[in-house]
Amino acid sequence: MLDFTALFAFFVNYFHLSFQNFFCNACLAGRQAVEEKMSGIQSQIARAFKLTVYFIAFAISRPRFRINFSVAAPKFSGMTEKENVNNASDSCIIQILFMRSDKNKKLDKTLLFTILSLMVFGLMMIASAGVIYSETRFGDNYYFFKHQLFFGFIPGLATLYFFQKIDYHYWRRIAAPLFLISLVFLVLVFIPGIGTKIYGASRWIQLGHLSFQPSEMAKIATIIYLAAWLESRGKRRIGDFFEGLTPFLGILGILGFLILKQPDTGTLGLIVLVSGIIYFVSGAKISHILALILAAIAGLGALIKLAPYRMNRFLVFLNPELDPRGIGYQINQALLAIGSGGIFGIGLGHSRQKFNYLPEPVGDSIFAIIGEELGMIGAGILILLFIVLAFRGFRIAKNSPDDFGKLTATGITSWIVFQAFINIAAITSIIPLTGIPLPFISYGGTSLIFLLAGMGILLNISKQAHN
């Protein structure tokens, strides 16, 4: 359908350009120039008429194209006025026929559909998996569902919408303050009256009736800060031991200390992994990456040995049948749930393990309920959605217009994809249990809102990415 408003805007811009140049030169060249320009104006009107015909014919034949009416002011140096006006109008023709407007820079619809599918899938599974747990703890079968809907899903959608509207370069300007604020919140969890201890871990800040988990904010703040910092260093300085690797380790050291004090080893491991990926993509030396891997393995071994509960998880990973009613209870119940589902599952809402057999059925263990109720088919569809998200996210990173966009997109995509597969691998006994939730699926309003904030930034990068 022909856009007459756009056509009117075209004429306004076109004749404004012509008359602007006309009066400018009239003042300088006098009456003779005015007479010459009158004939020029007549020719411009004729050209405008032809352009109108071209425009209408093209708009009807190619309706999917939008029109870009931005007309650049001509440059006078080294070119006559007539040549400038003609050049500008020719430029208009090229823009009209072959360019799309800024409004037509579309976000990645496949990625958006994947995000929304994961959100709906998660809400559905929380409603199913949390029925008995909700009744036991709160006397309301759908407490977890309603809480996730009103304090996670709806605010998360608003966050997704507004963040995809914000130019991602804005986050580069506030990267350092954002990272410092996340560190302050990580400190506040240890202050009595502000921080809340749940299951022996100080991971939450209580804000009236609402709770907030600063480590979720720290994930996205660290990604943005590292992307901005590494871009500012340049590849030469990134590859230097003192100007690249040493400050990078200092950043991770400060963040790691605060997260370990909570303690939250799973989140720390995820942040270190994602940070290492960003560092590698930024142009770090392979020798530095190998040194980081060896240091991470050594640090993980030390953490396992120092904390009895971490050692127990490692022992259960090596031998799942060890103490099935004690330290091996959760993983055994999870494997029993997944095995009971078979290929097609026993049906949505028909899980038996959610009847207070499986710990945290709406949290870390929700993938086991998915496997039980929806079977291998349902679990496979969920995994496929995360694979699609990974493909689209890394594709956006590859086509980003600058290094900050590339590093930010790489970090956000790695964060969500690796968190998902760490959770799935842990609950299926491929790796030791970590306590990391399943993105978009597990219960948690704070987690969902920050995940969707990251997705909003990624969608905005997709708008500006090269095709």
- Does the pLDDT of residue 29 top 50, yes or no? no
With beta carbons less than 8 A apart as the criterion, state whether 391 and 417 touch. Answer: no
How buried is residue 193: exposed, middle or buried, by Cβ count under 10 Å (0-12/13-18/19+)? exposed
Task: List pLDDT tens digits, range 70-102.
Answer: 334 334 344 444 444 444 444 443 343 333 334
- Does the pLDDT of residue 28 top 60, yes or no? no
| Lowest mean pLDDT, pick from 33-37, 258-262, 324-328, 453-457 | 33-37
**Cα–Cα distance, 428 to 341 (Å, whole number):** 13
Mean pLDDT of 138-145: 88
pLDDT at 270: 93
pLDDT at 438: 94
More reliable by pLDDT, 417 or 236: 417
pLDDT at 220: 94
The helix/strand/coil state of 212 is strand
**Cα–Cα distance, 324 to 317 (Å, whole number):** 12
**Cα–Cα distance, 420 to 386 (Å, whole number):** 8
Count other Cβ atoms within 10 Å, centred on residue 221.
Answer: 26
**Cα–Cα distance, 422 to 416 (Å, whole number):** 10
Task: List pLDDT tens digits, range 361-401.
Answer: 898 889 999 999 999 999 999 999 999 999 999 999 999 99
Residue 197: CB partners within 8 Å, gap ≥ 6?
A: 204
pLDDT at 262: 82
Average pLDDT for the chain = 79
pLDDT at 47: 52
More reliable by pLDDT, 28 or 146: 146
| Angle between the N-to-C axes of helices 366-398 and 329-341, in degrees from 0 to 180, rounded to the nearest 10 | 80
- Does the pLDDT of residue 39 top 60, yes or no? no
Confidence label for 32 from pLDDT (cuts 50, 70 and 90): low
Q: Kindly report the CA angle at 371 between 368 and 377, in degrees rounded to 5?
A: 155
pLDDT at 65: 38
- Extract long-range pairs of 36-42: CB within 8 Å, 24+ residues apart: 37/81, 40/81, 40/82, 40/85
Confidence label for 273 from pLDDT (cuts 50, 70 and 90): very high
- Does the pLDDT of residue 157 top 70, yes or no? yes
Helix (H) or strand (E) run with residue 195 in it: strand 195-198
Task: List pLDDT tens digits, range 201-219.
Answer: 777 787 777 778 888 999 9
pLDDT at 15: 43
Confidence label for 125 from pLDDT (cuts 50, 70 and 90): very high
Task: List pLDDT tens digits, range 278-336.
Answer: 999 998 889 889 989 998 888 888 888 877 777 877 888 777 777 777 778 888 889 99
Q: Which of 81, 79, 71 is nearest to 48 (CA)?
A: 71
The one-character DSSP state at 74 is: P
pTM of the model: 0.76
